[in-house]
Structure 1
Amino acid sequence: MIIKRVFHPVGQGAFYREKINQFNFIYDCGAKKCGKDSPLKNEAQNFSKKENQIDLLVISHFDSDHYNGVKFLLENNCLIKKIMIPHLNEEIKLLSIIQRITRETKNSENLMSDLKMIINPVEELKKIMNKDKLQIIQVLPKKYEFDENIEGENIEYSALQDMIISGTCITIEEKNNWIIKPFNLAINITIKSDILLEINNILKLGLNDLDLNITNILKELSIKIEDDTLLKERKIEIVHEELKIVYNNLGLEKNKYSLCCYSGLKNDKGKKKIGCLYTGDYDAKDEIFPLLNFYDKYINYIGIVQIPHHGADENFTDQLMLKNIRIALISAGKNNQYNHPSANVVKDIANHCMVYIINEVNYYEENYIRYKNKWSN
């Protein structure tokens, strides 16, 4: 078996790929800078010229800097066979929309694209792909219980259905020891009627008391987003501030969903340690124990960890630094507005293992990290 990993220098975003024998696996493909001369476009197109097929593309969550590079993959006729995304319940969809707006201070194309993706990701991805019959696999969230059997069903890649449970072990080939195991954590959130009323009033959705529920709010939001009237009726700066108060009243200030993936050996007897844990923008600081317990069987196989949310301090805990970790990856723009990665995070990681900050600098010279392993099973 031959495994090749490439962590592409796209700046403030993420674009990671693996080649397992002839199987191409991509985890996220997007960046804040995504124009015609962007590192993202160059990296995606260069990949597409070399490889004409992606077997599985995972999108961790619906922020544009994690998915807007898909269009560049398609420009060179790269075939994307299957896309895997987190399934979102209505509460998470509504809260994600509010959170996305509160992070925006001006009406941008990326904002509207993200809102459409959150409301109906399957249809939006089919539009991007211009392909009605594209298989999009949604990973259902699984409420974590410490006494629960968390080892999911083994399913061969070719037999994947449109819905799978979190924890399913996806085998690449029938006799292959390599698996991809997704984790979508269920967050139980109850949104009370007074909060729904505030959202209705701030966004001018026009729902009466009898119709005021999450399902109807999402329907009205979908209409206003599609016809581009959601933020034209009021200045986004005002909506931004008012929704931020609502969001903060719920006690939520971080990304509350992100599809994580373990990619590595199903059983390496604790010797090779070449598995990789991809985390997207997962809230590791508050939700580290569900993550570690979920992947407990594979902890000793993981040698590489993607640090969540571009190295943001509010998403990081040093408990993510597993004892076998050799490399920690942080994807962040060189001069981004968010001050990612946090200096404290980098310093903390450096006490445990090598840390690589993958930005857009010198990407034309391919001055970035390539990690390659070969072995025989």
Structure 2
Amino acid sequence: MMSKFKLCNVGQGLFYIGEINLSNRKTFKFIYDCGGNNISGAINQHITQDDVIDMLVISHFDDDHINGLPDLFNKVSKIKRIFIPYYKGIENYLLLMSYIYGNGATFDKVDEIILVNSSEGVEDEQDFNEIITEEVPDINRYNLPNVKVGIIRNKVLSVEKKWIFKFYNARISTDITTVISDINNLISNNNRKDLEELLKLNLNAAKVGLRTIYSNYCSSKYNNSKQNQSSLCLYHAPIKKETPRIHLMLDNGVRFEYYTKIHQFGTILTGDISLKTKKNPRNYNEFKEHYKNEIGDIGIFLLPHHGANNNWNSLILEDFMRTLIFLNSSGLNNRFKHPGSMVIKELQKKRKIVCCANEYLTVEYYI
């Protein structure tokens, strides 16, 4: 049986679902980001209450990539593992916690949170069900009830020797401690000793405080640039190669089907990272170097930052020359003018296939 992948109809945002068929009729289900202006409708359409999510990957913490998480957490049966970017500090862990609890959800259905640092350590392959994690420094005061938290460094994860996953996140400075100090102040102001005690209060004031902490860090104060560049990218591919089939599906049931025979079977998901060399010359080179062994297998490439001109790098078309299909997720008539006209023109000039999801259109493909 073929495995199915969907870039869902969330409008301006990103919600990607993968369902990998394993042995004994089992399915490995993963999600990459969960946000957008139509995220509630997309969750209702593509997620059921019986769903068990084996892997949830959060690229970064902009609202249009995570505003569906509370609905997702409340609806599904279980989330086994959540993967978030890590840079020698627990700010992203605290942002995740702040957003979930601040918006009326909990981690009661979550087994484990894994912080990913791909820039350190020797590359090592591990079975997904036997991931070995390191302890997270300075997390004791911020532990969540009944949720395991750990770090992995530069790991390639395999699922039943059928599918592989490889992460990448850029090295960025970690001099921002605002989140930790604000969390500590919130705990102290409510006369609690730690985060777990604060969460047990279930006070509206605590929820408002957590939402404010998230908003201060991810929106106005830092203008999102650090969050965007810290995006956790994900490469996934089958170990055994077969032929993918592409079709597009409109919400009203009308289907436009396109079939192409390609020889590259990997997908790269890029969040909101910037790969533009003029702004971040080191970042693109490190990204390319990190995936140097996978470049020839990447047939499907998610345009970074919803196809923004300022995040695109024309060198992608040279270095990833065997990549045929480019995906994009953005809202119709959005104020950011995503995807950028320059990006689309370059892709069309190279005769690439561009598949765009929006509020009304879901892109599906099968391998």
Q: Same fold (TM over 0.5)?
A: yes
Question: Residue 30 of structure 1 contacts residue 70 of structure 1 at CA under 8 Å; is this kept in 2?
Answer: yes
Aligned partner (choices 164, 172, 177) of residue 162 of structure 2 = 177
Aligned partner of residue 72 in structure 1, secondary structure? helix
Question: Residue 49 of structure 2 contacts residue 76 of structure 2 at CA under 8 Å; is this kept in 1?
Answer: no
Q: Which residue of 2 aligns with 1:264?
A: 237
Q: How does 1:94-133 map to 2 (within 5 A)?
A: 119-122=94-97, 124-125=99-100, 128-131=105-108
Alpha carbons of structure 1 residues 132 and 275: separation in structure 2 relative to 1, 3 Å? closer
Question: Residue 166 of structure 1 contacts residue 183 of structure 1 at CA under 8 Å; is this kept in 2?
Answer: no
Q: Which residue of 2 aligns with 1:19?
A: 19
Separation in 2, partners of 1:318, 1:138: 31
| 1:205-255 Cα shifts (integer Å, max 9, x gaps) | xxxxxxxxx54x4444333696858999xxx9xx95xx67xx89xxx7883
Q: Which residue of 2 aligns with 1:168?
A: 155
Alpha carbons of structure 1 residues 319 and 48: separation in structure 2 relative to 1, 3 Å? same
Q: Which residue of 2 aligns with 1:107?
A: none
Separation in 1, partners of 2:97, 2:111: 9
Q: Percent identity?
A: 30
Separation in 1, partners of 2:79, 2:150: 18
**Larger helix proportion of the pair:** 1
Separation in 2, partners of 1:277, 1:253: 21
Q: Which residue of 2 aligns with 1:341?
A: 339
Structure 2: segments with no counterpart, 5+ residues: 22-26, 134-148, 187-204, 243-261
| 1:9-53 Cα shifts (integer Å, max 9, x gaps) | 11000011111101111111111x2xxxxx321221222238621
Q: Which runs of 4+ in 1 moved over 6 A?
A: 229-232
Q: Which residue of 2 aligns with 1:83?
A: 82
Alpha carbons of structure 1 residues 300 and 218: separation in structure 2 relative to 1, 3 Å? same
Amino acid aligned to 2:338: H
Question: Residue 278 of structure 1 contacts residue 306 of structure 1 at CA under 8 Å; is this kept in 2?
Answer: yes
Amino acid aligned to 2:125: N
Amino acid aligned to 2:286: P
* Residue 306, structure 1, aligned to residue 279, structure 2: no
Question: Residue 316 of structure 1 contacts residue 345 of structure 1 at CA under 8 Å; is this kept in 2?
Answer: yes
Separation in 2, partners of 1:51, 1:227: 28
Query: Which range moves more in the overlay, 17-26 or 218-227?
Result: 218-227
Q: Which residue of 2 aligns with 1:104?
A: none
* Residue 48, structure 1, aligned to residue 47, structure 2: yes
Question: Residue 166 of structure 1 contacts residue 182 of structure 1 at CA under 8 Å; is this kept in 2?
Answer: no
Separation in 2, partners of 1:369, 1:177: 23
Deviation at 1:164, TM superposition (A): 4.0
Q: How does 1:140-289 map to 2 (within 5 A)?
A: 140-142=117-119, 152-160=123-131, 161=133, 162-173=149-160, 176-188=161-173, 215=177, 217-222=178-183, 223=185, 255-266=228-239, 272-285=263-276, 286=280, 287-289=283-285
Separation in 2, partners of 1:45, 1:132: 18
Alpha carbons of structure 1 residues 54 and 289: separation in structure 2 relative to 1, 3 Å? same
Alpha carbons of structure 1 residues 231 and 299: separation in structure 2 relative to 1, 3 Å? closer
Question: Residue 165 of structure 2 contacts residue 235 of structure 2 at CA under 8 Å; is this kept in 1?
Answer: yes
| 1:161-187 Cα shifts (integer Å, max 9, x gaps) | 3434443111111xx231011112212
Q: Which residue of 1 aligns with 2:257?
A: none
TM-score normalised per structure 2: 0.70
Separation in 2, partners of 1:355, 1:167: 31
| 1:48-90 Cα shifts (integer Å, max 9, x gaps) | 2386211101000011211121233344444222111111445
Question: Residue 48 of structure 1 contacts residue 78 of structure 1 at CA under 8 Å; is this kept in 2?
Answer: no
Separation in 2, partners of 1:133, 1:179: 22
Separation in 1, partners of 2:182, 2:10: 32
Separation in 2, partners of 1:170, 1:86: 16
| 1:332-375 Cα shifts (integer Å, max 9, x gaps) | 11121212111111111222311122111xx3xxx4322112xx
